Amino acid sequence: MRRVASPDGHRITGSCTSVFLRGQSPRAPETSSPFPSPTPPASTCSPILPRRTSQCAGPQPETPGTVGRLTRAASGPPKSTPTSPRPSHWVCRFCVSDPEPIEQAPLIAVVGATASGKTGLSLELARRLDGEVINADSMQLYRGMDIGTAKVTPEQAQGTPHHMIDLLHVTEEASVADYQTQARGAVAEVRSRGRTPILVGGSGLYVRSALDVIEFPPTDPQLRAQIQAQLEEEGVVALREELREADPETASAIKDERRLVRALEVIRLTGRTFTSFMPQRVYEPNLKPVVQLGLRVDRPLLHERISARVHQMRQSGLLEEVRDLEAEGLRSGRTASAAIGYHQFLRVVDGLQTEEEAVQDTIVATRRFARRQETWFRADPRITWLDAPDAQLGDYAMEAIRRQTG
């Protein structure tokens, strides 16, 4: 069983990685929900899969009960009467009567730098493709880190189901290996409902872990603690030199101490370089078909968008959010406390800088992070790049999906 987050921040047990959006309430079996049912209306087909029948027989009956915030559909034959024929090349997931295997819904990944418009495009594609969104932003895994991560709001989502958000307390360590298991489970669950999974985020390794064949190096908490103690005793220079001698490629790429400790842990534990565990650009076979869409924004415009976003975060109450999380133990969370925006505004809480200085530092750090994101994603030749923003961005994205999935 995987643990999923409820609106009040507590974990509940279930087989689904779905979570409620902030401000929403769980649905009791007998009541209506602000979120759409995974079962389509009787008169509509969801254009997801290649057509095998000539008419839609409608949805299967729904069994009361919820998993996360999504209603389970009962098994069994369709009960409603046939509706008018649909276009010959599409079929509703609920009315496939042909025993032949059929192609599953494509997994759409929307990637790119922060503030490039990924959330907006993912929501538009979810509406057009009867989709559900799966988060691939490592910081949006944390409960309460809402404003500073630009987490989608219920008003933005307009009922679109979202998965893989609000799963961790700020004191917990995010694990890309755990994320891989849960995200792939979410993809399978979305497809089982006949809907389209839409992965969206800018955390490059998390995206790769969800999509690609990847081997994760082992961990040893005791060894990691020893390296951390060595870092505090000898300083970062000595450990960087050790990494440079053992794995020059990784040493040139790693900038922060947390990843430095992890790279040395892997080297000492396995005798292999950290680089050797990096995934090849090969999609996990069970996930195909996969379509990656990247959003490309001119650098000056992206800088403007980042600045505007950070100022909006301040106005929306980022400092108050950081104060609330500090009371929850944010400082003891090695990953969460280092998140851009939260690290800077903790210094405001400590009286080490003004709020305006924290805003400017956050803007600079976010722009640097965006450059690293662009470098990471541009190295992947499988990504189809779309210029953004654009009034017809959704149309261009749909055309790219059609070209790649036939």
- Which residues are documented as binding site for ATP? 112-119
Strands (E), 23-127: 62-67, 70-73, 107-112
Burial label, 115 (beta-carbon count in 10 A; 0-12, 13-18, 19+): buried
Tell me how far apart the alpha carbons of residues 11 and 19 are, in angstroms, rounded to a whole number: 10
Q: Which residues are annotated as a binding site for substrate?
A: 114-119
For residues 95 and 58, the answer to whether their CB atoms sit within 8 Å is yes
**Residue 252, H or E segment:** helix 248-253
The pair of three-digit structure tokens given for residue 215, joined into one six-digit string: 């081997």
Of the candidates 244, 305, 275, the one whose C-alpha atom is nearest the C-alpha of residue 118 is: 305
Cα separations in angstroms, 293 against 140, 370, 397? 20, 17, 7
* 216 DSSP 8-state letter: P
Tell me how far apart the alpha carbons of residues 394 and 123 are, in angstroms, rounded to a whole number: 10
Reported residue count of the chain is 406
Of the candidates 281, 301, 264, the one whose C-alpha atom is nearest the C-alpha of residue 378 is: 281
* CA-derived radius of gyration, the chain: 23
Burial label, 19 (beta-carbon count in 10 A; 0-12, 13-18, 19+): buried
**Residue 384, H or E segment:** strand 384-387
Tell me how far apart the alpha carbons of residues 25 and 28 are, in angstroms, rounded to a whole number: 9
Tell me how far apart the alpha carbons of residues 280 and 278 are, in angstroms, rounded to a whole number: 7
Tell me how far apart the alpha carbons of residues 230 and 226 are, in angstroms, rounded to a whole number: 6
- Residues 277, 385, 212, CA angle at the centre, nearest 5°? 25
What are the residues whose beta carbons fall under 8 Å from the beta carbon of 374, sequence distance 6 or more? Answer: 112, 113
Burial label, 35 (beta-carbon count in 10 A; 0-12, 13-18, 19+): buried
Q: Which residues are annotated as a binding site?
A: 112-119
